[in-house]
Chains A and B, each alone.
Chain A
Amino acid sequence: MKPHAEEQGRIPRGLRFFSENVPVTTRRRRFLFVLVWCGISAMMMWPIYPLMSGATPLVLGLPRSLAWVLVAMVLMFGSLLWLFLGDEAEAKRREARAGQGGSKTGGGDDG
């Protein structure tokens, strides 16, 4: 339970988003994704949403205020898909290099 005093120097003070073996392409993709995610979040809050908050004109039969939120949903889906496919492609490349994948084994904690 007690922290080791001698470890103090080894713990970084700042945030650490990736372990050392994460390739630069993955880091870039994730960083970009988080930016897009923040952008989409901002779309549905003040001060951006008020620009599109009116009832009319109707977009595909829906009020503009609702259509805007659905646009955000579609964008979120698209960017998640982009992130996922990128991660998948990279995992395949890594597997091909290493010649093995991260297969799972059954867990269990009570024997």
Chain B
Amino acid sequence: MDSGTTALVICGLYLLATFIMGILPGFRVSKSVAGYVAADRGMGFLVLYFVLGASIFSSFAFLGAPGWAYSRGASAFYIIAYGVIGMVPLYFFGPRARRLGERYGFVTQAELLTHRFENRGVSIILALLSIGAFIPYLTIQMKGAGYILSTVSGGRISEALGAAVTYGVVMVYVLFSGVLGVGWTNTFQGAFMMVVAWFLGLYLPTKLYGGVGAMFEQLAASSHAAMLEAPGLLADGSQWSWAGFSSAVLISAVGFSMWPHLFMKSYAAKSDRVLRLTVVLYPTFQIFLVPILLIGFSGVIAYPGVEPADTILPFLLTQIELSPLLIGLVCAGTLAASMSSGDSILHAAASILVRDGIDKAAPGKLAGAREQLLIRLFVVVLSLVSFYFVLVSSVSLVDLLLAAYGGVAQIFPVMLAAFYWPRATGKGAVAGLLAGLVVNVLFLRHPELKPAGFEHVHEGVFGLLANIPLLVGVSLLDRPQDADHIREFVET
């Protein structure tokens, strides 16, 4: 068996193992919507820890992040920086959301906000935003999986076929087991990719330079020294500005805990304690970005000029003399990263589309069993739509995803107001959200319109500057909501 085939067989075995892990919990969970979407609100610490951790570390972690370190140096530290501070709001919001979810049967983020603000508009805006953000996200995960399988097979498996096989597996276990399928596979996959990342992140610098310290010493003494200085470089090799770096950290941190597929895992937690402990221990998961960045840095001196930079990890794998077994395991780790985010997104997107979109647009039409059937139907539809984009996509997908980051950050002030500002009203929330989203997209599409001197500031910041005053102003002009209704939210 040649080395490509060995690696491919390992990837195949890995997919099979994931498939079995994903199917098993489906026999345990109740047949209700709360079972399918929120694991009957009984998820324990270990599974929640890996679900939150592994959902965040997507194929970007294995392909994009080393690429950033390789081509943009210290810019990549921004990925660690926003994660450090971005999970914290969930410590405060999460338990409140969980308790309200238990009381009212919420399973999505928008359900909570719609109930608080007594306004269906919030729900429909969030459903549209979520779908707009999730489809490019999912497409990128599929492409990552397809890319790895195509590389490891030496092109014998096309990118499209690789994506189809991997996401065929994901689709089946998401369909069958819902969020518990996501949970169990993510525990398995999260642990697997952590091991792979630490192994490669320490092995490559040692093999190529004699150690991590030796690698950075050589880099600091070389012509590449400037890339190690924060805020690092832009994709074109010029210096990134502090305004750009700082505002990117800020907006990503603000949006981090607001990603609907993460936020809604609050409802799955067994208790407040489990949820809080998960947030507290999140940095122990996050630290695995360090070896990931080391992989990228290890290519800078040894293999300059690799294009595109995102291919640095597969490129290194083909250059160093690693046993086919290990290459197979590393590729399986990348598949793990892709699948463990993709499954969570797919599951969340279908749930949100049905619960927040269709249910709200045509209230009272869907009973439990039909609703669950519809969510499953949308799991298939969304997989096919994303797969269609894998086949026809262009770079504009990345643009869409970037727009989504700034867009998701716009949920933050509304969520903050829902819990901590009793005077906030539905009209205020809708006005703030809409203004934030419009301004964000406007400046993303037309950066030349940004005010002079603030060209490098992330467009999400401008979105927030439109969002917050409108949320406050329109709420104050509007009539207050019922005090008893509000009390449940601010005093939960």
Interface residues of A (CB under 8 A from B): 1, 3-5, 7-8, 10-17, 19-20, 30, 37, 40-41, 44-47, 49-50, 53-56, 58, 60-63, 65-66, 68-70, 72-74, 76-77, 80-81, 83-84, 87-88, 91, 102, 104-111
Contacts and interface: CB of A to CB of B under 8 A. Distances in A.
Contacts of A63: 74, 216, 219-220, 228-229
B273 A88 contact: yes
A107 B476 CA distance: 35
Grouping DSSP codes into helix (H, G, I), strand (E, B) and loop, the A interface class, with mixed when no group exceeds half, is loop
The 7 A-B residue pairs with the shortest CB-CB distance, nearest first, are A110-B368, A109-B105, A61-B213, A55-B228, A19-B491, A53-B230, A45-B246
A60 B290 CA distance: 13
A2 B208 CA distance: 68
A20 B491 contact: yes
Interface residues of B, number: 81
Contacts of A45: 242, 245-246, 249-250
Interface string B454-492: 000000000000000000000010111111101000111
A9 to B, nearest CB: 9
Contacts, number: 192
Interface stretch (B19-27, B387-395, B419-427): B419-427
A46 B461 CA distance: 15
B7 interface: no
B318 to A, nearest CB: 27
Given A61-B212, A109-B104, 16 more contacts: A1-B118, A7-B484, A11-B480, A37-B88, A41-B250, A41-B253, A44-B85, A53-B74, A55-B220, A55-B229, A58-B213, A61-B216, A70-B290, A80-B279, A88-B273, A110-B34
Contacts of A58: 213, 216-217, 220
Nearest to A4: B482
Contacts of B84: 40, 44, 69, 72-73, 76
Contact of B41 (A19, A46, A73, A104): A104
B213 A65 contact: no
Interface in B278-299: 279-280, 283-284, 286-287, 290, 293
A51 B203 CA distance: 32
A50 B91 CA distance: 29
Contact of A105 (B92, B102, B287): B102
Given A73-B80, A73-B287, A11 B481 contact: yes
12 contacts: A3-B425, A8-B479, A45-B249, A54-B229, A58-B213, A66-B290, A69-B84, A76-B84, A77-B284, A83-B280, A87-B276, A110-B105
Contact of B283 (A10, A49, A73): A73
Given A73-B84, A108-B34, A16 B422 contact: yes
B40 A107 contact: yes
